[in-house]
Structure 1
Amino acid sequence: MTWNGTTIRLRPIRPEDEAALRTFFEQLSLEDMHARYFCTFRNPEHAQLARLTQIDYAREMAFVAMAETPEGNAEILGEVRAESDPDNIEAEIGIVVRSDCTGRGLGTLLMKKIVAHCRKQGTRFLAGTVLPGNRRMLGLVRGFGFAAQTGSHSDGIAIRLPLSDDDSAGNEEQTQEN
């Protein structure tokens, strides 16, 4: 697919993506790193990278947006991940786009991919937590119909999206801006 004049491929993360994921983390601004992971880490350990690239596909999915560098290497431009509970009722999501790629629709492409995947898997809800100052993420999830509720989580704003029509009744948005 083409995104902003660049050929990209959205695909599940693989163990061999460890080096590209390390480079991806190095290219994130500290602000973007903190907004996604609620902390900053520039040089993740091998074990941490292995955990992020060697996933249990039965309960977790991570899609990466890959592009080719001028040198012919694969690079990660963005990543979205969902990890479901054992009963596949709810999956916690997280998304991050490389700092130089934000604001151009890549987050929307990644979110569409993970929502479609989770629906296909029969997951009933997507949920997560967004830091109050992360306006880009709040705008993205609201555009997908997530309900947001401040004060429901000590670290930020709880977000939730029903993935089936059966679960959407009574799930009106409960956004309270401060």
Structure 2
Amino acid sequence: MKTAASVTLPMSTYRSRTRPPERLRFGAANDAPMPDGEIFTSRDGSRLSIRPIHPDDVAALQRGFAQLQPDEVRMRFLHTLTELPDQLAQRLCNLDPEQELAYVLVGPADTTEPEIHGVARAYIDPTTDSAEFALIVQRRFTGQGLGSRLLNKVIASCRHRGVHEIWGDVLTENHAMLELCDEFGFRRESVFHDASLTRVRLAL
């Protein structure tokens, strides 16, 4: 799978005395509604949809995680994780609309029990006007531009909500993700405390 930085847990935040309240500076996730998602046909003929993640996607998210190989999990979460616990899955599907956004790649016919084939998310830090992002696409759907679609959706949503920069930490060995970020114009930086990581940044 193509993967990027992990945002499974929120960053530490604080409110600056010189900044207006977060809700006045950033729009919520429903500022750009997409009730039915973006439906399209992939290069292999699959009918797919990109839509916001739902609170009831927990089981689908866990099913998708169970299909991952250990190296894919490490690429996404940057550490070993043998299962996606209920509490974490709930956390990933129940967002703070003021500071988080996430989109899932699903089949449009998957209505009762959707199968999640990819996820892109961002966590907005109101103290820096920046957002940390993460991206994953199931291996059988790679090479079709779906990672680009998901990343473009996150970038557009962050820009719409007034975010000035999007960034992520990527394993240096994750060449596919780094090349995808290059295509979008991200710049690469070294992570001084961890040579295994490369930080990517994009000004919006």
* TM class, shorter-length: 0.7 to 0.9
The unaligned stretches of length 5 or more in structure 1 are 164-178
**2:65 aligned partner:** 25
The unaligned stretches of length 5 or more in structure 2 are 1-39
Aligned 8 A contact 1:68 1:75 in 2: no
Answer 1 or 2: which has greater strand percent: 1
Counterpart CA distance in 2 for 1:116 and 1:92 is 14
Please tell me the residue identity of whatever aligns with 2:188.
A
- The Cα shift of 1:73 comes to 3.6
- Which residue of the other structure, out of 133, 145, 150, is the alignment partner of 1:110? 150
| Secondary structure of 1:122's aligned partner | coil
- The Cα shift of 1:74 comes to 1.5
- Which residue of the other structure, out of 17, 21, 41, is the alignment partner of 1:2? 41
Q: Summarize the Cα distance change of 1:49–1:151 in structure 2 as closer, same or farther, 3 Å threshold.
A: closer
- Which residue of the other structure, out of 141, 154, 165, is the alignment partner of 1:125? 165
**1:158 aligned partner:** 199
Please tell me the residue identity of whatever aligns with 2:57.
D
Counterpart CA distance in 2 for 1:107 and 1:91 is 18
Counterpart CA distance in 2 for 1:114 and 1:20 is 21
1:28-67 matched pairs, under 5 angstroms: 28-67=68-107
Counterpart CA distance in 1 for 2:139 and 2:80 is 14
Please tell me the residue identity of whatever aligns with 1:3.
S
| TM-score (structure 2 length as normaliser) | 0.74
Please tell me the residue identity of whatever aligns with 1:53.
C
**Does residue 82 of structure 1 match 2:122?**
yes
| Secondary structure of 1:133's aligned partner | coil
- The Cα shift of 1:21 comes to 0.1
- The Cα shift of 1:71 comes to 10
**C-alpha root-mean-square deviation of aligned residues, in Å?**
1.9
| Secondary structure of 2:92's aligned partner | helix
Moved more, 55-64 or 31-40: 31-40
Aligned 8 A contact 2:49 2:108 in 1: no
**Quick one: higher RCO (CA 8 Å, sep 6+), 1 or 2?**
2
- The Cα shift of 1:15 comes to 0.8
Aligned length: 163
Aligned 8 A contact 1:59 1:88 in 2: no
% same residue: 34
